[in-house]
Amino acid sequence: MSLNVSVVSASSEVWSGSAQQVTATTTEGEIGILSGHEPVLAVLSKGDVKVTTDAGEKVVVAAADGFLSVNRDNVYVVAGKARLSA
């Protein structure tokens, strides 16, 4: 099964799509999300949100000031500031 991932900033959608895995830095430490993960709501720390797409591509988003929500294989990252990293 895949994760449905959406990463948004205060002003726009930064990235969305299907993924195998999402890793993010939270105030409690780094969290890794795979399909079937239990529901969670976490506060983001400044850092990278790393997404491994279903095609195996790596997407890195620099994010700060927001939260990460997981529910039923849906992952939402809402950040005050977010941009794709090179």
Chain segment 39-67, per-residue pLDDT in tens: 999 999 999 999 999 999 999 999 999 99
Domain enclosing residue 16, as ranges = 3-84
| CATH number of the domain enclosing 43 | 2.60.15.10
Chain segment 13-42, per-residue pLDDT in tens: 999 999 999 999 999 999 999 999 999 999
The confidence band for 1, taking pLDDT boundaries of 50, 70 and 90, is: confident
Task: Give the total number of structural domains in the chain.
Answer: 1
**Distances 20 to 28, 64, 68, 70, 72 between C-alpha atoms, Å:** 22, 23, 16, 14, 14
Q: What is the pLDDT of residue 24?
A: 97
